[in-house]
A and B are shown apart, each in its own frame.
Chain A
């Protein structure tokens, strides 16, 4: 009986236990098999994190390849404490680390338990090493990419800055942020239930795309000289501030642009050289006379009466600082006579003068890409009740550079046009853009805006400006090292509050180019309110001279006349095609003829913007180089005569224009359809008929 009860009870127990085991197994099936996928996903999700991988920011170079903005790796210190004890410990450690009095960190950082917080994202290496070796719980170091400027004191208004997260906030860094930034990648990492991430097992999901690098047109050597001399000049002449812009005459590329603000801080966010407008005064006379000469309204030997310094015009009187009698146009510029300039301008008339100012780029923006570029304005020299009569006095005022507001950049671009034969080129800041492997993805080309004056007028104006330096108001700019030509300006400062002009407040300026014989670099120096000497020829001029001299001494090779345009040695053996891009077609043809090369282009005037074969490449056996000319008298480009070109050259030209074409035969183009002179529009299709029959030299040339 007893045994039976025990047995029954044991069986009961075993049944209960078996049921329990069955329940457990069923539960495991439910969790592991039926919900396995769902739970597994949740488990994986909670143990993996995603974070951005910063893309490497593009480098900024100057035109010679000097790196101006680069990336370096910095130590970033952050805190993420597990509890209050760690926080207290971190506070006291930071006080010791930075050598601050106790309690400093407590006030400075607001740490919370389990909350991520940056302490110092630019921790110096020695301190970083200390933190690493001390291993304070809750205090960690990570490596971050940071922007660094190898020339920290040069061109900062141009380059700008990035914020701590690497986003451009000023200057080139800001304007071209989308090019420089690249695209952030993403990585997946393993993390644990506390706060640690296990970067060992990280795997990138999306690789970051590095930003593109930018090569600026700037010459950092010149930029440094300009900044040094500008600073020295502004301080010496006790000016409020100064700006300078230097441009390559042949290409319009900006070589240097700088400000110096004499307030002890010199912290401009915007580049005043492109953002501040002012009345230029006498320097503007160059553009007035350009219009007069180009219209053929004066004889060079003609004497104009300058009224001995006072000339009544309408209800008002014009004055010259030093009264003059009879002067030639050149003497008027050299002595900067207001009356002489006004008389010449009146021959041109208010409308034409107004148009001339616009043709030289005043009153418009070039959109060089930096923030804050100003357009300035040109007032129409009109009067009368309806402002519909051209006013003699207002025309005179405009002729002398009043009632027009300009930027230093506009003056520099305008004088570059005067110096290069009359072509207004859009000032460029970007030379090329390349990807992370150094392949050029975009190359900027010369953008010829318009043909402003004839080459002959340009030549005369250059001569006048040289006279200003040799005999006129800018004799202090005369240099033994480099021949400088230019024009001074001393303008009263317009009073924006009360109207009229401020008493004894002047803008002193100098506008010029060098070397005179072969203009390479054009530039402008502007000083705002120098005291007590306020004449442009005594203040801004010498700054320009110092810059020109220093640059010339360092770059004598670059400033030598190029062989290609002035070579009179016909036996010169060419290594490859000369560089004609940027040249006036007539000058280029003359030079090419010297070398036995003929240029095939689509116009007889204008600037060459493209050539094939490119400079330095082998010239085809028939010695023909195809060029594309930007001719401002034409609204649409026209097709060249392709006959006689080898097929490859003809194809290159059609490609440049984006024309669809088909080719029959090979060798030399014999016939073309449509004929030369056809306007190139989007629907044009071209058909070339070629053969080797007539000219044999190129018979080996095959299509490739």
Chain B
């Protein structure tokens, strides 16, 4: 087992817990009457994530890989079921099961990776041929992504799509075949934005915010102020002021800004290094895999983490338009935490397979 990866991930999880508490305690007190409301829930989710991770780490992933096909149908059904659930913050993203709420879109992302790793490593599949690529991936994965867009969960859909496309790219699919998949998507997106005006304001906000974050939307501006307030060394753990209802989502999507305020540029460099370390270990594990399945699966989970990290930080630093994507390991939120831990568990599992190429 890759102990370095294990400890690296553990570090991030611990930092995540501390920062979730620091950035959410005021809001928790104000909205739920308890400072540790969010921390408690996140700890509970951590236990669930660790159990799930333990199971995944011990399982023979290759043996069960054929189940990824029914699994993907099951998740598609879950993605459809969210629409009969009550909306939260105006979107149907969650399935409510008693006290828990889960996001099928997060599960879908993992399942897609599992499925692609399984499917693309099949000997019978000839990825040189465009039909073999476009079918069945376009309808299967595409329908899931459309469901996620409809939630609406544009950010989640985007990461899933990016992850899937990158896996196909790494698997050796011809670029022009990928273009068959990308061009309609890009066309659809442009059409929605520029013709239908969907989220047009966001796009305009985004373009001016890249230039100067203070001219962006309220949350973009507050995120920049939060980061700026931190300067080199930060204002100190717990001393942040922006979490006093200035910065929206200080403990979820914008936790990176909260950390930047309290721990400063130096703190963020530490976080970025830890992320880079984990991604580096993921790629290394992928390279040592004895088969294509292992390579694609390891790269898949590494990619899904990487894409979420880059997009989240890109949004917080106003380099990317605002999309609701949590920061792996750190943001408050059960499904994302489980996905992060399970991703690492997959890598840990793959790191101890028989027949690893020793180098």
B174 and chain A: residue at smallest CB distance:
A5
Q: Which residue in A6, A20, A36, A194 is a CB contact (below 8 Å) of B228?
A: A36
> B residues 270-308 with Cβ under 8 Å of A?
272, 276, 279, 283, 287, 295, 299, 306
Instruction: Please state if A32 and B225 are interface contacts (CB–CB under 8 Å).
Output: no
Q: Which residue in A14, A24, A40, A192 is a CB contact (below 8 Å) of B229?
A: A40
> Does A46 sit at the interface, judged by CB under 8 A?
yes
Q: Which residue in B170, B241, B319 is a CB contact (below 8 Å) of A10?
A: B170
A10-B283, A28-B265 are contacts. A39–B229 as well, Cβ < 8 Å?
yes
> CA A190 – CA B235 in complex, angstroms?
15
A30 and chain B: residue at smallest CB distance:
B317
* Chain B residues, CB < 8 A from A194: 245
A-contact 0/1 string along B315-351, CB 8 Å cutoff: 0011100000000000000000000000000000000
Q: Which residue in B222, B247, B264, B265 is a CB contact (below 8 Å) of A29?
A: B265
Instruction: Please state if B246 and A31 are interface contacts (CB–CB under 8 Å).
Output: no
Q: How far is the CB of B105 from chain A (nearest CB, A)?
A: 23
> A residues 592-640 with Cβ under 8 Å of B?
none
A-contact 0/1 string along B135-152, CB 8 Å cutoff: 000000000000000000
* Chain B residues, CB < 8 A from A347: none
> A residues 5-38 with Cβ under 8 Å of B?
5-6, 9-10, 13-14, 17, 20-21, 23-25, 27-29, 31-33, 35-38
> Does A44 sit at the interface, judged by CB under 8 A?
yes
Instruction: Please state if B224 and A28 are interface contacts (CB–CB under 8 Å).
Output: no
A20-B310, A33-B231, A39-B227 are contacts. A28–B246 as well, Cβ < 8 Å?
no
Instruction: Please state if A38 and B317 are interface contacts (CB–CB under 8 Å).
Output: no
> CA A24 – CA B247 in complex, angstroms?
20
A47-B244, A190-B241, A193-B246 are contacts. A33–B170 as well, Cβ < 8 Å?
no
* Chain A residues, CB < 8 A from B231: 32-33, 36-37, 40
> CA A215 – CA B255 in complex, angstroms?
62
> CA A162 – CA B55 in complex, angstroms?
76
A21-B276, A28-B227 are contacts. A36–B232 as well, Cβ < 8 Å?
yes
Instruction: Please state if B225 and A43 are interface contacts (CB–CB under 8 Å).
Output: yes
Q: Which residue in B171, B230, B244, B283 is a CB contact (below 8 Å) of A14?
A: B283
> CA A21 – CA B166 in complex, angstroms?
17
Q: How far is the CB of B161 from chain A (nearest CB, A)?
A: 16
> Does B260 sit at the interface, judged by CB under 8 A?
yes
* Chain A residues, CB < 8 A from B314: 20, 24
Instruction: Please state if A13 and B227 are interface contacts (CB–CB under 8 Å).
Output: no
User: What does DSSP make chain A's interface, helix, strand, loop or mixed?
Assistant: helix
* Chain A residues, CB < 8 A from B171: 6
A-contact 0/1 string along B198-232, CB 8 Å cutoff: 00000000000000011000000010111111111
Q: How far is the CB of B207 from chain A (nearest CB, A)?
A: 15
B260 and chain A: residue at smallest CB distance:
A32
Instruction: Please state if B246 and A35 are interface contacts (CB–CB under 8 Å).
Output: no
> Does B86 sit at the interface, judged by CB under 8 A?
no
A47 and chain B: residue at smallest CB distance:
B241
Most chain B CB within a 10 A radius of its CB, from A2, A17, A32, A47: A32
> Does B313 sit at the interface, judged by CB under 8 A?
yes
> CA A13 – CA B230 in complex, angstroms?
32
User: On chain A, which size bracket covers the interface?
Assistant: 35 or more
Most chain B CB within a 10 A radius of its CB, from A192, A194, A198: A192
B224 and chain A: residue at smallest CB distance:
A31
Most chain A CB within a 10 A radius of its CB, from B228, B229, B314: B228
* Chain B residues, CB < 8 A from A193: 222, 244-247
A27-B317, A47-B242 are contacts. A32–B310 as well, Cβ < 8 Å?
no
* Chain A residues, CB < 8 A from B264: 32
> Does B169 sit at the interface, judged by CB under 8 A?
yes
* Chain B residues, CB < 8 A from A13: 166, 169-170
Most chain B CB within a 10 A radius of its CB, from A21, A39, A198: A39
A9-B169, A21-B276, A29-B265 are contacts. A43–B310 as well, Cβ < 8 Å?
no
> Does B72 sit at the interface, judged by CB under 8 A?
no
> CA A23 – CA B246 in complex, angstroms?
26
> Does B172 sit at the interface, judged by CB under 8 A?
yes
> Does B268 sit at the interface, judged by CB under 8 A?
yes
> Does A42 sit at the interface, judged by CB under 8 A?
yes
Instruction: Please state if B245 and A43 are interface contacts (CB–CB under 8 Å).
Output: no
Instruction: Please state if B229 and A43 are interface contacts (CB–CB under 8 Å).
Output: yes
> CA A554 – CA B271 in complex, angstroms?
85
> CA A36 – CA B116 in complex, angstroms?
44
Q: How far is the CB of A633 from chain B (nearest CB, A)?
A: 75
Instruction: Please state if A6 and B268 are interface contacts (CB–CB under 8 Å).
Output: no
A39 and chain B: residue at smallest CB distance:
B228
A10-B170, A29-B265, A32-B265 are contacts. A24–B232 as well, Cβ < 8 Å?
no
* Chain A residues, CB < 8 A from B241: 43-44, 47, 190
Q: How far is the CB of B244 from chain A (nearest CB, A)?
A: 3
* Chain B residues, CB < 8 A from A21: 272, 276, 310
> CA A190 – CA B318 in complex, angstroms?
27
Q: Which residue in B224, B226, B228, B313 is a CB contact (below 8 Å) of A24?
A: B313
Q: Which residue in B30, B228, B283 is a CB contact (below 8 Å) of A31?
A: B228
> B residues 242-258 with Cβ under 8 Å of A?
242, 244-247
Q: How far is the CB of A21 from chain B (nearest CB, A)?
A: 7
Instruction: Please state if A32 and B232 are interface contacts (CB–CB under 8 Å).
Output: yes
Instruction: Please state if B244 and A28 are interface contacts (CB–CB under 8 Å).
Output: no
* Chain B residues, CB < 8 A from A14: 283
Instruction: Please state if A38 and B228 are interface contacts (CB–CB under 8 Å).
Output: yes
* Chain B residues, CB < 8 A from A20: 310, 314
Instruction: Please state if B319 and A24 are interface contacts (CB–CB under 8 Å).
Output: yes
Instruction: Please state if A32 and B227 are interface contacts (CB–CB under 8 Å).
Output: yes
Instruction: Please state if B265 and A33 are interface contacts (CB–CB under 8 Å).
Output: yes
B310 and chain A: residue at smallest CB distance:
A20
> CA A37 – CA B310 in complex, angstroms?
26
Instruction: Please state if B229 and A28 are interface contacts (CB–CB under 8 Å).
Output: no
Instruction: Please state if A39 and B317 are interface contacts (CB–CB under 8 Å).
Output: no
Q: How far is the CB of A257 from chain B (nearest CB, A)?
A: 56
* Chain A residues, CB < 8 A from B224: 31, 35, 39
* Chain A residues, CB < 8 A from B227: 28, 31-32, 39
* Chain A residues, CB < 8 A from B313: 24
> CA A283 – CA B240 in complex, angstroms?
80
Q: How far is the CB of A619 from chain B (nearest CB, A)?
A: 69
Q: Which residue in B166, B246, B295 is a CB contact (below 8 Å) of A47?
A: B246
* Chain B residues, CB < 8 A from A33: 231-232, 265
> CA A35 – CA B228 in complex, angstroms?
6
* Chain B residues, CB < 8 A from A38: 228
> CA A37 – CA B229 in complex, angstroms?
7
> CA A46 – CA B241 in complex, angstroms?
10
* Chain A residues, CB < 8 A from B306: 17
B-contact 0/1 string along A185-217, CB 8 Å cutoff: 000001111101010000000000000000000
* Chain B residues, CB < 8 A from A46: 225, 246
A24 and chain B: residue at smallest CB distance:
B313
> CA A32 – CA B225 in complex, angstroms?
9
Q: How far is the CB of B279 from chain A (nearest CB, A)?
A: 8
Q: How far is the CB of B319 from chain A (nearest CB, A)?
A: 6
Instruction: Please state if B170 and A43 are interface contacts (CB–CB under 8 Å).
Output: no
Instruction: Please state if A192 and B245 are interface contacts (CB–CB under 8 Å).
Output: yes
Q: How far is the CB of B150 from chain A (nearest CB, A)?
A: 28
Instruction: Please state if B225 and A9 are interface contacts (CB–CB under 8 Å).
Output: no
Q: Which residue in A24, A27, A29, A192 is a CB contact (below 8 Å) of B244?
A: A192
A17 and chain B: residue at smallest CB distance:
B306
Instruction: Please state if A43 and B172 are interface contacts (CB–CB under 8 Å).
Output: no
> CA A37 – CA B225 in complex, angstroms?
10
Q: Which 8 A-B pairs have the closest CB atoms?
A: A39-B228, A192-B244, A193-B245, A193-B246, A36-B231, A43-B229, A27-B317, A43-B225
A selection of 21 A-B contacts at a CB cut-off of 8 Å is: A2-B172, A17-B279, A17-B310, A20-B310, A20-B314, A24-B319, A25-B269, A27-B319, A28-B227, A28-B265, A31-B317, A32-B264, A36-B228, A36-B229, A43-B225, A43-B242, A44-B241, A47-B244, A190-B244, A193-B247, A196-B245
**Additional A-B contact list (7), CB under 8 Å, known A13-B169, A47-B244:** A2-B172, A6-B170, A17-B306, A25-B272, A28-B227, A28-B265, A39-B227
